[in-house]
């Protein structure tokens, strides 16, 4: 059902945990299937200097969160805002169709984290 890359991210998730000094925190969830993702970002010079995540969900949810953190580290905020859930799935080499709807929410959490950062830093 899952490809090797998904399994690898599930088995060895990157950037797990809470950033105690996060500049922005974004949360998202699927009410229906219960998945919840929390994304923490540390921003320096308009770039994502550090990122971490916490996820409650299935294998796809964990893998896509982990994948996303790898994709955005070092990215400019505007670039990071362009990343879609589909991009994350593509980077993982694809997810089972059903998972695209319910578990692939990492990019939404990232966007929320960036918006949170911008709100806190009067960039809105």
Partner 1 sequence: MQSRLVYMDHGATTPVRKEVVDSMLPFFHDQYGNPSSLHAPGRKVRQALDEARETTARALGADPEEIYFTSGGTESNNIALRGAAKKQKGGGHIITSSIEHHAVLDVCRDLENEGFKVTYLPVDHYGCIEPEMVKEAINKDTFIISIMAANNEIGTLQPISEIALLAREHGILFHTDAVQVVGQLPVDLHSSNIDFLSLSAHKFNGPKGIGALFMRKGVEINSLYRGGSQERKLRPGTENVPGIIGLGRALELAVSDIPHKKKRLESLRDSLIAGLLQIDDVVLNGHPRQRLPGNINVSFKYIEGESVLLGLDMEGIAASSGSACSSGSLEPSHVLSATGLDHSIAHGSVRFSLGWGNCKEDVDFVLQKAPLIVERLRNISPTYHSR
Q: Which residues bind partner 1 (CB under 8 A)?
A: 2, 7, 10-11, 13, 16-18, 27, 30, 32-38, 53-62, 98-99, 101-103
Residue closest to 29 by CA, chosen among 103, 123, 124: 103
Which residue's CB is nearer to partner 1, number 35 or number 116? 35
Q: Catalytic pick from 25, 33, 81, 100?
A: 33
Smallest gap from Cβ 67 to partner 1, in A, equals 14
Kindly tell me the number of DSSP H helices and DSSP E strands found in the chain. 6, 3
Known catalytic membership, residue 102: yes
DSSP state of 76: B
Known catalytic membership, residue 58: no
Active site residues: 33, 102
């Amino acid at each position: 059902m899952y490809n090797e890359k998904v399994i690898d991210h599930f088995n060895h998730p990157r950037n797990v945990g809470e950033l105690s000094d996060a500049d922005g925190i974004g949360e998202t969830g699927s009410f229906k299937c219960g998945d919840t993702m929390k994304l923490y970002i540390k921003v320096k010079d308009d770039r994502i200097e550090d990122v971490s995540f916490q996820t409650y969900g299935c294998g796809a949810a964990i893998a896509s969160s982990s994948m996303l953190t790898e994709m955005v580290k070092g990215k400019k905020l505007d670039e990071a805002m362009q990343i879609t859930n589909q991009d994350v799935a593509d980077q993982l080499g694809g997810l089972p169709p059903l998972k695209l709807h319910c578990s692939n929410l990492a990019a939404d959490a990232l966007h929320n984290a960036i918006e949170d950062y911008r709100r806190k830093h009067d960039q809105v």
